[in-house]
Amino acid sequence: MSSGHMVPLQRVVWDVGGGPPARSAPRAVPLTLREARGVVRRMARGAQRPTVVLAGVDPLAPPGRGIPVAGLVEALTSRGFPTGLALHPTAAFTPRSLRAWAAMGVQHIVLPVDTALDSHIPRTPAVRRTDAATLVYAHAVVAAGLQLYATTRVTALTAPDLMGIAALLPSLQVSRWDVSFVVPTATVARSEPLRAMRLERVLAWLSRYAASAPFPVTTEGAPHFIRHLHPQPDGLTLAPMVRDAQGMLYITATGEVWPGPDLPLSAGNVRLHAPQALYRSAPLFQRLRSAAELGGRCGWCAWSQVCGGSRARAYALTGDALAQDPHCAPVILPVAPARRRRSQTPP
């Protein structure tokens, strides 16, 4: 089986279980700190050091709930892994605690910025309003010597605020803006994600903004952003976009390795396998990377080698992780028939 064009593993998102409830099997046993340190030791045997983002982090989580974050941070940073924290939105913090994270070797903090300051969008369980507290938090992160990564969850409700958010971010001294286009999950209704044509308009605007932004702009859930960054497809020189199973993986609180946070298919468990080994060799990851395995438009699209569509969205809406991305607008440049494996007929 061909693994497709595999880029090096760049980012590992690890749910430490101290924030929102883990989306793993209810009877699964969470990793202990000792087990997590063993995982880090196995990861360190590899030649490369992907960035590890610890998600669901709540410094005030009750004892015994989740992996003790300080111990895991020490294990990662002492072995040279660039480490970031995606703090739980309700987590308390102080400038002193942020300086302590920086002293431990944490490089960046992920800040949710889902709305503009003057937004009229109502607060909902899926929308964290940007307010004065967000600004205080952002400035404290930078003052502590940490890089600030802003992340924005784009839904049909929050999309109108993107221009306001973009205008706000330079004043926060962010180092990166990650624009995450949500896919339907157990906690995200099917009405929330952007449909294909509206998503295309947002990506077109985002590409124009990214061209002059003072920081890198990345996307999650929309690898077809590459069509707007590079209108002429060139699978020979362009690196594939980072997406599920391509350049990233996700470790659940119980050690299962998924292709991404919103694609709940396990390739194995870190108790038995090093994450890099699963990334390289697990059949699930290989199939998701192979353009020849993709169905529908994603299989014959000219950008198939460097995009591949959102596998999480395909799985959520069709039940088939290899199906075409339902929210990617059609393109008109088919690939050569010799590159197809599945039964693919352009619509």
Q: How many CB atoms lie within 10 A of CB 82?
A: 16
Flag the least confident range among 20-29, 40-49, 99-108.
20-29
The pLDDT score that the predictor gives to residue 24 is 47
Which residues make Cβ contacts (< 8 Å) with residue 19, sequence separation at least 6? Answer: 55, 56, 57, 58, 61, 66, 88, 91
The pLDDT score that the predictor gives to residue 335 is 47
218's torsion region: left (phi>0), alpha (psi -120 to 50) or beta? beta
The pLDDT score that the predictor gives to residue 45 is 94
Q: How many CB atoms lie within 10 A of CB 320?
A: 12
More confident residue, 65 or 288: 288
Inter-axis angle of helices 95-103 and 132-143, to 10 degrees?
A: 40
- 202: which 2 tokens? 């947002």
- Confidence (pTM): 0.89
Contact 267, 276 (CB under 8 A): no
78 domain residue, yes or no: yes
Position of tokens 């880029």? 7
Contact 292, 299 (CB under 8 A): yes
More confident residue, 61 or 39: 39
218 domain residue, yes or no: yes
Tell me the backbone φ, ψ of residue 269, rounded to 5 degrees.
-120, 140
Residue 196 half-sphere exposure toward CB, CA atoms < 13 A: 10
Q: Which residues pair with 180 in a beta bridge?
A: 153, 220
Q: Read off the CATH number of the domain in which 178 is found.
A: 3.20.20.70
310 domain residue, yes or no: no
pLDDT at 148 over 90: yes
The pLDDT score that the predictor gives to residue 336 is 44
35 domain residue, yes or no: yes
Question: What mean pLDDT is predicted for residues 300-327?
Answer: 92
Specify the number of domains making up the chain. Answer: 1
- pLDDT tens digits along 245-283: 999 999 999 999 999 999 999 999 999 999 999 999 999
Q: Which residues pair with 246 in a beta bridge?
A: 243
345 domain residue, yes or no: no
The per-residue pLDDT of the chain, averaged, comes to 86
pLDDT at 337 over 70: no
Segments in the chain forming alpha helices (H): 33-44, 69-77, 95-103, 132-143, 162-168, 196-212, 226-229, 275-281, 283-289, 297-300, 311-318
pLDDT at 21 over 50: no
* Closest CA relative to residue 248, chosen from 281, 292, 290, 279: 279
Which residues make Cβ contacts (< 8 Å) with residue 171, sequence separation at least 6? Answer: none
Domain carrying residue 154? 11-284
- pLDDT tens digits along 73-123: 999 999 999 999 997 766 677 888 899 999 999 999 999 999 998 888 887
- 217: which 2 tokens? 């702009």
The pLDDT score that the predictor gives to residue 20 is 42
Q: Which residues pair with 81 in a beta bridge?
A: none
225 domain residue, yes or no: yes
How far apart, in whole angstroms, are the C-alpha atoms of residue 228 and residue 336? 22
281's torsion region: left (phi>0), alpha (psi -120 to 50) or beta? alpha
The pLDDT score that the predictor gives to residue 346 is 32
Q: Residue-wise over 255-264: b if at least 16 C-beta within 10 A, else e? A: bbbbbbbbbb
The pLDDT score that the predictor gives to residue 215 is 97
DSSP helix/strand/coil, 166: helix
DSSP helix/strand/coil, 217: strand
Flag the least confident range among 159-168, 240-249, 324-333.
324-333
DSSP helix/strand/coil, 270: coil
347 domain residue, yes or no: no
327 domain residue, yes or no: no
